[in-house]
Structure 1
Amino acid sequence: MTNDATEMSIDTAVYKTLLESTEAIPWKIDWATLRFAYIGPQIERLLGWSQGSWVGIDDWVERMHPEDRSWVVDFCVAQSKAGVDHEADYRALTAEGNYVWIRDVVHVVRNDKGEVEALVGFMFDISERKKSEEKLLQLQRELQELSYQDGLTGVANRRLLDSVLEVEWASAQRGGQPLSFIMLDIDCFKQYNDHYGHLAGDDCLRRVAQILAASILRPRDLLARFGGEEFALVLPETDLESARQVAERCRAAISDASIPHRASDVSHLVTVSMGVTTANPADGGGQASLIEKADRLLYRAKQNGRDQIVAD
């Protein structure tokens, strides 16, 4: 054996030792046969499948989560045929029947003619990273939900109300459907706070919000805290008479709850006043006019003695 051959043999052994001492799992696939020319022994520690069981590309495919299999295989084959280096994240099946998140980093090897000769790469265990990413995404979802939620009552806040009203207005405009809006105010709420205290006032707001939420029967209907002791309901595809019936159901539910209010000028129980209106967005205008009209009708209900509904 020549010195060059000896040095090459030593270098190969060194490289192999280095590769097999890393956490990453090295592998090589012959492109012509789609068979593994090599896969590192670390694969057994990670997935439980023996090194010798990785014969061809089918073994790789079959040990992939069914939900990931189609797109990962299609993507990797397309990129490999095009001679483009790439990477893919997917869930790999362990011998025990569990799944581990893998990142496969692939390098395309070409021959002297520029033809794809082999694929070489590394598999990385990214399970912990994926767990961290999922926790972060969950936190982001929770923060987003909180940004659209009233902190006191738990119902939608004014920000979400405005967004939904804009969307529903556009939808009603396209479909030629009516859109109804209810503005609701707890009667003599300042006196309630003065008499029972602000903590009790907060409890009252939460109770009213719960009663109103239970009175909504359709998924698209939205209840939101408009501000202070005022609430609003958006009722898509609802005419004025149907909206008035919803308002009456809400008013009756609050009355049936019998929440004491000894300081009220209207009743010894908590009552509400409501303004109910309907628009046909296809006729023009904007959602601001809907809110303004409901607010005027609410004011009229309070001027007329409270504990009533004014609809127009």
Structure 2
Amino acid sequence: MTIKEAGQGKGIEDDPDFYKTLLESTKAIPWKIDWNSLTFTYIGPQIEHLLGWPRASWNSVEDWAERMHPEDRKRVVEFCLEQSRKGADHEADYRALTQQGEYVWIRDVVHVLRDQQGNMEALVGFMFDISERKKVEIERDRLRQELEELSYLDSLTGVANRRMLDQVLEREWMEARRQQQPLSIIMFDIDYFKQYNDSFGHFKGDECLREVAQLLTQSATRARDFAARFGGEEFVLVLPQTDASAAKTVAQRCFDKLKSADIHHPSSPVAHRITLSCGVATSLPAHTDSLEHFLEQADRALYRAKEGSRNCIQVACSDGKCVETDWN
């Protein structure tokens, strides 16, 4: 026996008051927009509790758009209009302005209504308050980004690690080749670092690595200049749009800063302070050149510096030879 047959009057499916009461008792905010005039023909009373704006103030889609965060407005309005014109159901997340001047995250779920001839007649939907969900998502994304950034940092020195260095080198190499701009790389090795550790212990050795890393970072002053720990006591500077002369100037600036820091190293045969051996390479990449060969040039220059007098800069030339600059 149906409810109607049981003497309850007309059936639920024929009772608009029942549906109205049901819609207005939920937390979701129902609404209806006439497609031809783009005006609201209905919006649930819950809107006043959520956003504070009186129901009577929701007249057209312009009121809806104007009460949207400026950063979301263009994206959401264009998307919703495009989907509506296609006659496609859709949903969109955005920040809605409250009457008190704050913003609440809203999810609008939109359905298309058609008349008997199949023409678009209206849009109906629900607004959901998703502020708490968004807070969780934003915090989760922040933590994910933080973890990702940490995975690209050397945990000891705080500069970029080898993983990040490989990605930056690949990107800058491709960009230098595309723009036909010089790319320089400087490889550094701390002279007699094992003896420093033997004299002062690994704790002081770690402090020394951190200090050298910061000095090198400070010497690379432009936004795209990039410092990384290559491994052990080796560091690298990547210098986009930098020719050999400018790269050598940066290397000498690094030596200057390290000399001023005067990190005591009595066991060094070169000086009674921490010093560096340095290899510099510069390339104007052609399509026949390889990044691997470029890195080999810098590595060979560094090797010559370490096998020679140390505490010096070796600049790799295009013919494979090196020019040594002593630094005392």
Normalising by structure 2, report the TM-score: 0.88
Residue 301 of structure 2 is aligned with which of 293, 297, 302? 297
- Measured after TM superposition, the shift of residue 129 of structure 1 is 1.4
| 1:106 paired residue number | 110
SS at match of 2:213: helix
What are the residue-to-residue correspondences of 1:125-140 with 2, within 5 Å? Answer: 125-140=129-144
SS at match of 1:95: coil
C-alpha contact 1:100 1:125 (8 A) present in aligned 2: yes
- Measured after TM superposition, the shift of residue 11 of structure 1 is 2.9
C-alpha contact 2:12 2:18 (8 A) present in aligned 1: no
Q: Does the alignment pair 1:28 with 2:56?
A: no
Tell me: CA distance 1:63–1:278, structure 2 relative to 1, closer, same or farther (3 Å): closer
Q: What amino acid maps onto 2:126 in structure 1?
A: F
| 1:307 paired residue number | 311
What are the residue-to-residue correspondences of 1:1-312 with 2, within 5 Å? Answer: 6-7=10-11, 11-282=15-286, 284-312=288-316
- Measured after TM superposition, the shift of residue 4 of structure 1 is 10
Tell me: CA distance 1:285–1:101, structure 2 relative to 1, closer, same or farther (3 Å): same
Unaligned runs of 5+ in 1: none
Deviations 1:183-233 (CA, angstroms, capped at 9, x unpaired):
111011011111111111111000001111111122222111110000011
Q: Distance in 1 between matches of 2:181 and 2:79?
A: 45
- Measured after TM superposition, the shift of residue 167 of structure 1 is 1.8
SS at match of 1:282: coil
Q: Distance in 1 between matches of 2:172 and 2:200?
A: 39
Moved more, 67-76 or 265-274: 67-76
Structure 1 vs Structure 2 CA RMSD:
2.0
Q: Distance in 2 between matches of 1:176 and 1:84?
A: 48
Q: Distance in 1 between matches of 2:43 and 2:152?
A: 50
Tell me: CA distance 1:161–1:258, structure 2 relative to 1, closer, same or farther (3 Å): same
Q: What amino acid maps onto 1:236 in structure 2?
A: P
Moved more, 105-114 or 143-152: 143-152
- Measured after TM superposition, the shift of residue 143 of structure 1 is 1.9
- Measured after TM superposition, the shift of residue 14 of structure 1 is 2.2
Q: What amino acid maps onto 1:80 in structure 2?
A: S
Moved more, 130-139 or 118-127: 130-139
Q: Distance in 2 between matches of 1:194 and 1:173?
A: 44
C-alpha contact 1:172 1:282 (8 A) present in aligned 2: no
Moved more, 273-282 or 183-192: 273-282
SS at match of 1:247: helix
Tell me: CA distance 1:125–1:166, structure 2 relative to 1, closer, same or farther (3 Å): same
Percent of matched pairs sharing the same residue: 60
- Measured after TM superposition, the shift of residue 8 of structure 1 is 5.9
| 2:326 paired residue number | none
